[in-house]
Structure 1
Amino acid sequence: MGGIVSLLYGTLVYMLFLATFLYAIAFVGNLAIPGLVPKTIDSGATGPLIPALLVNTLLLAIFALQHSVMARPAFKRWWTRFVPQPVERTTYVLLASLALVLLYWQWRPIELPIVWSVDGMSGLLLQAVFWLGWGLVLLSTFLINHFELFGLRQVVARLLGRSVPEPVFRTPFLYRRVRHPIYLGFLLAFWATPTMTAGHLLFAVATTGYILIGIQLEERDLVGLFGDQYRRYRERVGMLLPLPGRGAGGGGDTTAAARGIDGARGND
């Protein structure tokens, strides 16, 4: 019975994650769809500037703190004293999804001059990069283990009475060229817009700062988990952009994705 309940819990949370992920694309891209996407990053009634800045910054901070603090190994060791290990990841995904729902709901548009606005071929190019970024995010999750990343593999394993294998380091496809293709995809999606408003700029700057900090925290955990193997990988492969003439390919000690670590290795 516990395995069935865990599977139902994991499935419902995965569906919630999928809905929040798809909504994120529309939210950031200002793709308002009546009945499905009632609010985007620049839609809605504007209010006083300072309260809008404070509320938006607080919403971003809530997501960043939840997303990073709960991903740290020390927190996981404490957290799993109360939450069963098979649903720990699912619970993390649930709370991250709820933090995003809160952000979508309470986000305030900012009434300031537009930072940039382009059309024609330049606008189409930025739109293409926007979609490329989201595609890169989704592809990168499947290159490691999409269903483990979002908790489904763990609850299925519990139902079948199996254990999830220990983390293994590998370099599938994009991970041979950049260490964090998921983060790279998010950066492309957040910055590539034909019309950059002040609110969108706040979102892009704040999430970029969070990503850069999160990478440092994640890589510290990966070094602790994989030691010199990860250090060698970090020397050969660029963080967000490929290093000219370098790559992880070919060597028997090449590295990559470890489950349960924040960012591109487990908690993106």
Structure 2
Amino acid sequence: MVLSSTIILVFCLVAFAVIHSALASLPFKRRLMQFLGSKADTLYMPVYSLIAVLTISPLIYLLIYNPGPILYIVPSPWRWIMVGGQIIAAIVAPRALLDAPHRFKIHSQLSGPNTPEAGALNIKGIYRWVRDPFLLSGIIIIWLTPFMTFNLLVIYALTTIYLYLGSLHWEKRLIAQFGDEYREYQKQVHRIIPYLRGHY
């Protein structure tokens, strides 16, 4: 029973990852730009986020009703410290969108280095301390969960791998967009571990 529920959960996660990756791919964005024109930049993020929520919902539902055997529960006060860390990480993700909105515009992602469409890298905010705040916040939210079950552990481990591979792909895309400017940035700021003194 535990094994079958785990397999179903893994299948749901893989299905989510496939849909999520396909919608985030440059070929899909290129076709979307051809179809919608300048409206693509405005519509993409809210629709993409909605689809992400809808496609991850079955996985969350199944995890709630099929958590598997409990591996541990962190006692107070440590659990509240962990929850506090999760809350801080949850605040970082939307902050990262505000600090670099130009990175998420489709017409900018489809352009090359040193073009008006690509724009300047313009490092500010959270990006002065860490290159991929989404990867960092995701890992913190996942692994600071103050309890763990078998199915949760499997999903968290696979999600961490997916986030890490997604981060590698995202960095390649940023190099394609910003060229040597981003390569120089990579030398000064770590991708996951924050440099507390900051750069830039």
- Range of TM-score over shorter length: 0.7 to 0.9
1:130–1:189 CA contact under 8 A, matched in 2: yes
Question: Deviation string for 1:44-76 (max 9, x for gaps)?
Answer: xxxx11221111111111222222232222332
User: Residue 54 in 1 paired to residue 40 in 2?
Assistant: no
Aligned-partner SS, 1:196: strand
User: Residue 92 in 1 paired to residue 48 in 2?
Assistant: yes
In structure 1, the partner of 2:114 is none
Which consecutive unaligned segments of at least 5 residues does structure 2 have? Answer: 107-116
After TM superposition, give the deviation of residue 86 of structure 1 in Å.
Answer: 1.4
Q: Which amino acid aligns with 1:171?
A: I
User: Residue 189 in 1 paired to residue 146 in 2?
Assistant: no
TM-score of the pair, normalised by structure 2: 0.79
Q: How does 1:73-222 map to 2 (within 5 A)?
A: 73-82=26-35, 85-87=38-40, 89=44, 90-107=46-63, 108-112=65-69, 114-145=70-101, 166-222=118-174
Q: Which amino acid aligns with 1:67?
A: H
Q: Percent identity?
A: 24
Structure 1 residues 56 and 236: CA distance shift in structure 2, 3 A: same
After TM superposition, give the deviation of residue 84 of structure 1 in Å.
Answer: 5.0
Aligned-partner SS, 2:77: helix
1:180–1:240 CA contact under 8 A, matched in 2: yes
Count of equivalent residues? 186
After TM superposition, give the deviation of residue 203 of structure 1 in Å.
Answer: 2.5
Q: Which amino acid aligns with 1:204?
A: Y
TM-score of the pair, normalised by structure 1: 0.61
Question: Deviation string for 1:109-143 (max 9, x for gaps)?
Answer: 2322x322221222221121121221222322222
In structure 2, the partner of 1:226 is 178
Aligned-partner SS, 2:24: coil
1:223–1:230 CA contact under 8 A, matched in 2: yes
Question: Deviation string for 1:118-177 (max 9, x for gaps)?
Answer: 21222221121121221222322222239x9699xxxxxxxxxxxxx6544221211011
- Partners of 1:211 and 1:222 in 2: how far apart? 16
Question: Deviation string for 1:184-234 (max 9, x for gaps)?
Answer: 112111111221122221222121111100011111111111111111111
1:116–1:197 CA contact under 8 A, matched in 2: yes
The structure that is helix-richer by fraction is 2
Structure 1 residues 66 and 84: CA distance shift in structure 2, 3 A: farther
After TM superposition, give the deviation of residue 243 of structure 1 in Å.
Answer: 4.5
Task: Please say which of residues 48-57 and 115-124 is displaced more in the overlay.
Answer: 115-124
